[in-house]
């Protein structure tokens, strides 16, 4: 499996990273270890987890697999902290004291003395960003973390974190882990240009849009019994209300046409598209079974044509908000998308 540098200064990661939110929840330990084995045998070398994934169980599964397989030195290991690990209000956040406890707990569950990438799972409005980034820098200085990153941040939040590190000479932010897929491209308005300017790598989560881009949901058809919406109708009501739009179905039609013409899966089309986006270091694939993993791995066996990329980019282009982007485009003569395309081209 191909490796890519994560941003301009991060580690080399596999182009497909293994997201492990399903471990301990939708996949038991035997299945989780089978998924890890297949991913490793396919050349995968990047595992992403978080302390909050089944409140530590995912990290425990990975830790036991690393020990059994003896693969620690071959893997780039990433985890995250920020969200609640218990009902105790002090057991969450991005403050120095909590992050210290969270990191030590993650290292213990993983059975390692350091992680390669430690990420703040989301912005913490109750903690000064200086305190958070200074704590992360301390972890790097202590040899417990190699690189630092963030997840689920707005552009101004990411820029503030990057500036604080730059100003103080602290370990820089090398990565951003956002939701990013053909159905969710809004990060291209501000976050992607910022990452291009700063050399910050992207680690997209939900590349298949919660299953929508696999083709399992069809317009005017109830969710299948074994789908995520069908298993528990209430679980997917919010997602259904957000995704059930003309834009969604138009995107799915183009993805389906390409998949049928090329003899590949719709999910493979979606992953292939993400692999061609600027600053993407690794696309994080999550799965409940080895069969799902195999489908995702197949996306590496072929490439979208330039014409297919144009079709996908055109049908999935997000709308531009009336203000400030729309105002600047209409009143100040700034072609937002043309400027973005130019920056993307230069990034490659």
Domains and CATH numbers, the chain: 3-347 (3.20.20.100)
- Tell me whether residue 98 is one of the annotated catalytic residues: no
Residue 240 has pLDDT above 60, yes or no: no
Strands 16-19 and 12-14: unpaired
Packing angle of the helix pair 57-69, 96-110 (nearest 10 deg): 40
Structure tokens at 138: 């301390």
For position 342, what pLDDT does the model report?
62
Q: pLDDT at residue 346 above 60?
A: no
Question: How many alpha carbons lie under 13 Å from residue 239 in its C-beta half-sphere?
Answer: 18
CA-CA distances (angstroms) from residue 252 to 100, 192, 256, 260? 44, 23, 6, 12
Q: Which of 39, 53, 118, 180 is catalytic?
A: 53
| Sequence-ordered alpha helix ranges (H) in the chain | 29-41, 57-69, 96-110, 129-141, 155-168, 191-198, 228-231, 237-243, 246-262, 266-275, 290-297, 306-316, 327-331, 336-347
Q: Is the pLDDT of residue 72 over 50?
A: yes
What pLDDT shows up at residue 14? 98
Tell me which residue has tokens 């036991």: 64
pTM assigned to the model: 0.92
pLDDT band at 236 (very low <50, low <70, confident <90, very high): very low
Reported confidence tier of residue 329, pLDDT bands at 50, 70, 90: confident
- Any idea which of 136-145, 234-243, 277-286, 312-321 has the lowest mean pLDDT? 234-243
Q: Indicate the pLDDT class of residue 230, thresholds 50, 70 and 90.
A: very low
- Helical (H) or strand (E) element with 287: none
pLDDT bin (cut points 50, 70, 90) of residue 122 is very high
> Using CA atoms, how far apart are residues 290 and 140, in angstroms rounded to an integer?
35
Does residue 195 register a pLDDT over 70? Answer: yes
The pLDDT, as a whole number, for residue 116 is: 98
- Predicted pLDDT at 229: 45
The candidate with the shortest Cα–Cα distance to 100, out of 71, 73, 132, is 132
Q: Is the pLDDT of residue 344 over 90?
A: no
Window from 103-107, 163-167, 343-347 with minimum mean pLDDT = 343-347
With tokens 């297919």, the residue in question is 308
Least confident span in 66-70, 82-86, 182-186, 229-233: 229-233
Q: Do 53 and 81 meet the contact criterion of CB atoms below 8 Å apart?
A: no
Distance CA 120, CA 136 (A): 9
Q: Is the pLDDT of residue 224 over 60?
A: no
């Amino acid at each position: 499996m191909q490796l890519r540098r994560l941003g301009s200064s991060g580690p080399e990661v596999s182009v497909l990273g293994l997201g492990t939110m399903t471990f301990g929840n939708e996949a038991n330990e035997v299945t989780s270890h089978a998924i890890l084995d297949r991913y490793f045998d396919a050349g995968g070398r990047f595992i992403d987890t978080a302390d909050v994934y089944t409140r530590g169980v995912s990290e425990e599964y990975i830790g036991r697999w690393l020990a059994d397989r003896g693969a620690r030195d071959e893997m780039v290991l990433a985890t995250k902290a920020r969200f609640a690990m218990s009902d105790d209000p002090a057991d969450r956040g991005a403050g120095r004291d909590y992050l210290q406890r969270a990191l030590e707990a993650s290292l213990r569950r993983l059975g390692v003395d350091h992680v390669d990438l430690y990420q703040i799972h989301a912005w913490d409005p109750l903690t000064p960003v200086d305190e958070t980034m200074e704590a992360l820098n301390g972890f790097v200085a202590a040899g417990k973390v190699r690189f630092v990153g963030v997840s689920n941040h707005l552009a101004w939040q990411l820029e503030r974190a990057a500036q604080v590190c730059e100003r103080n000479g602290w370990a820089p932010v090398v990565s951003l882990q956002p939701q990013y897929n053909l159905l969710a491209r809004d990060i291209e308005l501000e976050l992607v240009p910022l990452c291009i300017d700063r050399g910050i790598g992207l680690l997209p989560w939900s590349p298949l849009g919660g299953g929508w881009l696999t083709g399992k949901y069809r317009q005017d058809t109830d969710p299948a019994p074994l789908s995520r919406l069908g298993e528990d109708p209430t679980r997917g009501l919010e997602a259904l209300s957000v995704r059930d739009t003309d834009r969604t179905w138009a995107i799915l039609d183009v993805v389906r046409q390409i998949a049928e013409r090329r003899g590949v899966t719709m999910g493979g089309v979606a992953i292939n598209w993400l692999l061609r986006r600027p600053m993407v270091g690794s696309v994080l694939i999550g799965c409940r079974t080895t069969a799902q993993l195999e489908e995702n791995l197949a996306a590496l066996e072929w490439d979208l044509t330039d014409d297919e990329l144009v079709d996908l980019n055109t049908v999935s282009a997000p709308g531009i908000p009336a203000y400030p982007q729309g105002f600047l485009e209409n009143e100040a003569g700034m072609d937002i998308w043309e400027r973005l395309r130019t920056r993307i081209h230069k990034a490659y």
